[in-house]
Amino acid sequence: MMIKKLTVQAVVWGALAMVAGCGDGAKAGAPAGPQAFPVKVMTAQAETVPLSTDYLATLRSRNAATLQPLVEGDITKIFVNSGQRVEAGAPILEIDPRKQEATVNNQEAGLKSKQAVLQQAAVDLDRKKKLYAAGVTAKADLDQAQNTYDAAKADADALQAGIREQQVQLHYYTVRAPASGVIGDVPVHVGDHVSAQTILTTVDKGGALEAYLNVPAEKSAALKIGMAVDLVDDQGKALTRTKISFISPHVDTDSQTLLVKAQVPNADLKFRNAQQVHARVVWSERKATVIPITAVTRLSGKLFAFVAEGEGQKAVARQRVIEVGDLIGNDYVVLNGINAGDKIIITSVQMLADGMPVVPQS
Interval 3-9 mean pLDDT = 44
Asked whether the predicted pLDDT for residue 316 surpasses 80, the reply is yes
**For residues 10-21, average pLDDT:** 46
Q: What's the number of CA atoms in the CB half-sphere (13 Å) around residue 249? A: 0
> What's the rounded mean pLDDT across residues 135-162?
93
The fold for domain 52-64+204-286 equals Elongation Factor Tu (Ef-tu); domain 3 (2.40.30)
Distance between CA atoms of 165 and 100, rounded to whole angstroms? 11
Across the range 48-73, mean pLDDT stands at 89
Cα separation, 356 vs 36, whole angstroms: 7
| Range list for CATH 2.40.30.170 in the chain | 52-64+204-286
User: CATH 2.40.420.20 spans which residues of the chain?
Assistant: 2-48+287-361
Query: Which residues are CB-neighbours of 107 under 8 A, at least 6 positions away?
Result: 159, 162, 163, 166
Say if domain 2-48+287-361 classifies as CATH 2.40.420.20: yes
pLDDT higher than 70, residue 3: no
Q: Which part of the chain is CATH 2.40.50.100?
A: 70-202
Asked if pLDDT for residue 172 goes beyond 90, the answer is: yes
Alpha-carbon gap, residue 321 to 301, rounded angstroms? 11
CA 179/CA 230 separation, integer angstroms:
31
pLDDT at 9 over 80: no
Rounded mean pLDDT, 148-168? 94
232 or 32, higher pLDDT: 232
How far apart CA 340 and CA 46 sit, in angstroms, is 5
27 falls in which pLDDT band (50, 70, 90)?
very low
Output the average pLDDT for the chain: 87
Using a CB cutoff of 8 Å and minimum separation of 24, what contacts does 111-117 make? 111/156, 111/159, 111/160, 111/163, 114/152, 114/155, 114/156, 114/159, 115/156, 117/152, 117/155, 117/156
Name the residue type at position 124.
D
CA 49 to mean position of chain CA atoms = 24
Supply the pLDDT for residue 178.
Answer: 93
- Distant-in-sequence, close-in-space partners of 244: CB < 8 Å, separation ≥ 6: 223, 224, 225, 226, 227, 229, 260, 261, 262, 281
pLDDT at residue 53 above 70? yes
Q: Is the pLDDT of residue 46 over 50?
A: yes
Which ranges of the chain does DSSP label H, i.e. alpha helix? Answer: 2-22, 98-133, 139-171
Alpha-carbon distances, residue 184 vs 7, 90, 193 (angstroms): 63, 15, 20
Fold classification of 70-202 (topology level): OB fold (Dihydrolipoamide Acetyltransferase, E2P) (2.40.50)
pLDDT value, residue 34: 63
- Single-letter amino acid code for the residue at 47: E
Model confidence at 330: pLDDT above 90: no
